[in-house]
Structure 1
């Protein structure tokens, strides 16, 4: 049960990072800045830009 809870928390954190990165993209921030602040790789950011 604890393992499932930990996995859910990890998924929630990742989803929050992606939402934050998406908002930063909408504001026109540089990919390097988004990557540093949100802790997301450049390829993931590029995929978000295309959505």
Structure 2
């Protein structure tokens, strides 16, 4: 099965699901799929 990365829009055979919170006070949530490279970048951005 092939997945499309939400961030870079590349096709990938594997994907990581992340929860994105939006709206007033983060009350709305949605799931997004990230490829391995974008997921690694996302994790590093959380560390600061």
Q: What is the TM-score when the length of structure 1 is the normalising length?
A: 0.29
- In the superposition, the TM-score normalised over structure 2's length comes to 0.31
Q: Which structure has the greater CA radius of gyration?
A: 1
Higher helix share: 1
